[in-house]
Structure 1
Amino acid sequence: MTRWFRGGILFAAAFVFAADRLTKYFIIKSLVLGQSIKVIPDIFHITLVFNDGAAFGVLRNCGPFFIIFSFAVIAFILLVVSRSPRLDRLTAMSLALILGGAAGNLIDRLQFGYVIDFLDFRVWPVFNIADSCITIGVALIACSIIFKRSG
């Protein structure tokens, strides 16, 4: 794997991280806790929530575990990216999404003791860009593994 390819993975992760941090900054400056703005009534709102659990509000009050787990995930991904002789593009993009998302939520936990969530689809727990990227990254890796085994 070339330096450019590794750099691309880190650049994509940095983009995810920046998008997550910027959106959270604007939300926290614009709304008060619990405030909700209707974007599409009864379907999609922007709602400020402080989440001390995992993605989508599961496993509440486990902050120290998530901090340690986030550091471990970030370290593992950086190790894989730096040591792997070859990664396919799908795996590389998946790792970038997870890395950027994990870093974004980790900063929230270290700075505030909770994660700032704001994307509210009303039928699903409130979440953020980092949660979305982590979920998409994990789903892509799972699909990649399944299709490689079956193909």
Structure 2
Amino acid sequence: MRHWLSFILIISVFTLDRIAKTLALKYLFLKTLKITPFLSFTYVENTGVSFGMFRDNNAFFTVFSAALIGILMLIRRRLASRGKALLFGVSLIIGGALGNLYDRIVYRCVIDFIDLKFFPAVFNPADFSITTGAVLAAFGMFSEQATRR
């Protein structure tokens, strides 16, 4: 994946996350909208991290997220030579982290709204991007190690 494609992916993830959260704020604020028996849109303000852990630490997670994004942006170019899956995964992580960082700075919490009844937490598109990116990055690292052997 070329560097400019990686950058476009980062911006696309951030933009889609912002659009979804703007719609959630406008139409779901403190409400729940049942879509199917398994899917609802439930507005939640999360001051912690995944699954609401470590609540009321927004300032810490704002600084931590900004530092992590900075580090990943710096090493992103080096990852291109290590395979597409790793670069693609890191780009998804950066885009999602930027979306949640925006929320932390502007709203002092992360806006979550996707509620799958079989999943234990309400989440957002940025969370999905971060999780998918982490899986892809791990796959990319393990694939690279396997080919070196």
Q: Could you state the TM-score of these two structures normalised by the residue count of structure 2?
A: 0.90
Query: What is the identity percentage for the equivalent residue pairs of Structure 1 and Structure 2?
Result: 34
Q: Extract unaligned runs of 5+ from structure 1.
A: none
Number of residue pairs matched by the alignment: 146
- 2-structure distance, mates of 1:146, 1:81: 17
- Among 88, 96, 112, the alignment partner of 1:93 is 88
Deviation digits for residues 84-118 of structure 1, max 9, x if unmatched? 57241111110110010000000000001100000
Task: Give the one of 24, 31, 34 matched to 1:27.
Answer: 24
For structure 2, list consecutive stretches of 5 or more residues without a partner in the other structure: none
1:10 correspondence with 2:4: no
Moved more, 109-118 or 121-130: 121-130
Partner Cα distance (1:149, 1:119) in 2: 35
Give the deviation of 1:122 after TM superposition: 2.1
Amino acid at match of 1:10: F
TM-score (normalised: structure 1)? 0.89
User: Which of 112, 124, 128 is residue 128 of structure 1 equivalent to?
Assistant: 124
The CA distance in 2 between the partners of 1:93 and 1:144, in whole Å, is: 9
Of 28, 33, 40, 1:37 maps to: 33
Q: Note the C-alpha offset of 1:65.
A: 1.6
* Contact 1:70–1:106 (CA under 8 A) maintained in structure 2: yes
Matching residue within 43, 59, 75 for 1:48 = 43
Which residue, 90, 100, 115 being the options, matches 1:105? 100
